[in-house]
Amino acid sequence: MAKPSIFSSNYDNQMKRRKKRKRKISLLVVVLIFGAIVGIYAIGFNDFSSKAIDSINTLGSKLISSKEKTDNKEKTDSNDINKAEDKSEDVISESDSEEKEATTEATEEAKIKEIPVKINEKVGALITVDKVTNKITEVTASNENTQYQLSDTRNVGLLYDKSAQMVYIFNSKGEVKDITYTQYVSTKGEINKREDVIAYRSDFVWMGTPKFIDDNTVIYKSFLPWFTTVNYIWIYDNTNNTYKTVWINNKLLGGGTIEILDKVGDGIKVNVDGTDYKVTPNAIATLM
């Protein structure tokens, strides 16, 4: 719209109408804008609120989920750490136990020593000796043909070669003494050597089932002195290196079957053909 001329006679009226028109237009624009805002606000508020609330809830859920995940991870990590610590403690405990066992074994091994018992330059047995008490604690024979026995005091032991019928005494130092009865001399002066007799008679009992009565006395059975199939009881005294037969009621104690059994007081129990006797180191037998 053209602006009125200042030289027009109707200039003032035209300007007044122009100003009123501008005010109406401005008012209308304001009303329209206000109405639009109010309309938008009225129509979209619920959706906006819902979306806002949903967003807040979603954000909260995410935060809670994230926290739960973090807590779970912390718990898992804590459990893993605890398990690792427990496993580490178990390993340490097992290690400590093994170390204690090894230390105990080492201590026990330090208290003992092994000594070979040699017979004719060959090892007849291996003995284990306690270093503190100097007692023989264990004997390992070199072969099945060799039998052994320890005295009650464990100061000495016996080795018995079954096939050769030879007997040896050994001590805790591994020192060996051959106590085999090497030959029998008859009242007529005839000499009968062990190796010759058992070679001629394979069933001959020269020295059978020897056992300790005490540290210095060994009892055994033999077909000597009559070279028959009757067994007689003999005693070996290590203090004076003597061999003697056992008597009872002024006759030799012997029979078809003899079993040398267990210690009884100061002697040892012997069964001869079903009858029990007690034999003492002095070669005396008494009926039990």
pLDDT at 50: 53
Query: What three-state secondary structure class fits 29?
Result: helix
Q: Find all residues with CB under 8 Å of 150, minimum gap 6, and list them.
A: 136, 139, 156, 157, 158, 212
Q: In the 8-state DSSP scheme, what is residue 229? A: S
d(CA 204, CA 136): 33
pLDDT at 87: 62
Spans of the chain below 70 pLDDT: 1-22, 24-96, 98-109
Q: CB 270: neighbour CB atoms within 10 A?
A: 24
Query: What three-state secondary structure class fits 99?
Result: helix
pLDDT at 75: 56
Are 159 and 148 in contact, with CB atoms under 8 Å apart?
yes
Are 266 and 280 in contact, with CB atoms under 8 Å apart?
yes
Q: Which residue has the tokens 């002024």?
A: 250
- pLDDT digit string, tens, across residues 55-85: 445 544 554 455 455 555 555 555 655 665 5
- Work out the mean pLDDT of the chain and round it to a whole number: 81
pTM for the whole thing?
0.65
d(CA 88, CA 178): 60
pLDDT at 148: 96
pLDDT at 189: 93
Q: Find all residues with CB under 8 Å of 216, minimum gap 6, and list them.
A: 237, 238, 239, 281
- pLDDT digit string, tens, across residues 157-173: 999 999 999 999 999 99
d(CA 265, CA 219): 15
d(CA 214, CA 85): 61
Are 39 and 32 in contact, with CB atoms under 8 Å apart?
no
If you compute the radius of gyration of the chain from its CA atoms, what whole number of angstroms results?
58
Rounded to a whole number of angstroms, the distance between the first and last alpha carbons of the chain is: 160
